[in-house]
């Protein structure tokens, strides 16, 4: 595995957390 998979995984994980946060706190979106 290379660093590209790590970077892609980190971005996907951060995006998933952001989506969950936006879903629970729509006023902060």
Rg (Cα) of the chain, in Å, rounded? 12
CB 10, CB 3: distance < 8 Å: no
pLDDT tens, residue by residue, 1-29: 689 999 999 999 999 999 988 888 766 55
Report if pTM > 0.75: no
Q: Quick check: helix, strand or coil at residue 6? A: helix
């Amino acid at each position: 595995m290379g660093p590209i998979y790590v970077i892609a995984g980190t971005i996907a994980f951060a995006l998933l957390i952001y989506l969950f946060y936006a879903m629970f706190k729509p006023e902060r979106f």
